[in-house]
Structure 1
């Protein structure tokens, strides 16, 4: 018995946007660390490290999701958790610099798209 094949192309493109956003965030933090240290806080670095870990994990889960419904569900769950965490962190007053809060909102929007596309791929 073979496992069903899932079309993970659309969610993979959205995850690619997330990975690009994460790389951009890390580059911004590296530049800001030397040019404007007040905008590259320890909290911002902590957030970026966690985001970077998920930027590695999500493509790996998507690769497995081509043949595994559980892996596809894991991508949707991870995306949902990232939406919640980023929205909550962006709403915390005074914890993160304004540019990082905008990045968090952008990440949440991309993760809503990932979750939607992943659920849709599982229903086809």
Structure 2
């Protein structure tokens, strides 16, 4: 293990490999992966339905693109968190929380987005809510707490 790796991993490897830690990290990564998959499929649907202005408007294009980018980052943060990166853990906590709030706003906005996208965003929000609950739980907070 390099000195830089020892500094980045300010906790015991046994803590990271504890069965409950592994389960929480694996679940967060899977939920983030599901969020990414749904987001990519939604962008593909937007491309397919681009000629129907009642289904795909400019707001849908912008939101769909932003969601794919944020989902890619969220998945990358979850993957690096699962490998023990404290910085990625912090970024995962922030990004997932911010996106849940943004999704709630999208769903609440009247008229801007078609119903199909609000439903899709609701599904993404549920996946991210799972990530938020996992990474903000006492086990993960204690594992990644500054020592």
User: In the aligned structure 1, how far is the partner of 2:128 from the partner of 2:111?
Assistant: 24
Residue 67 of structure 2: aligned partner: 51
* Unmatched segments (≥5 aa) in structure 1: none
CA-to-aligned-CA distance 1:18-47 (integer Å, 9 cap, x gap): 01110121111111113x232011000110
Cα deviation, 1:70-112, whole Å, max 9, x if unaligned, reads: 3212101111100000111111110001101111111111110
CA RMSD of aligned residues (A): 1.8
Counterparts of 1:1-124 in structure 2 under 5 Å? 2=6, 3=9, 4=11, 5=13, 6=16, 7=22, 8-34=25-51, 36-65=52-81, 66-120=83-137, 122=140, 123-124=142-143
Q: TM-score, normalised by structure 2?
A: 0.75
Could you list the structure 1 runs, at least 4 aligned residues long, displaced by more than 6 angstroms after superposition.
Answer: none
**Structure having the larger proportion of residues in helix:** 1
Q: Which sections of structure 2, spanning at least 5 residues, go unmatched? A: 17-21
Which stretch of the first structure deviates more once superposed, 66-75 or 105-114? Answer: 66-75
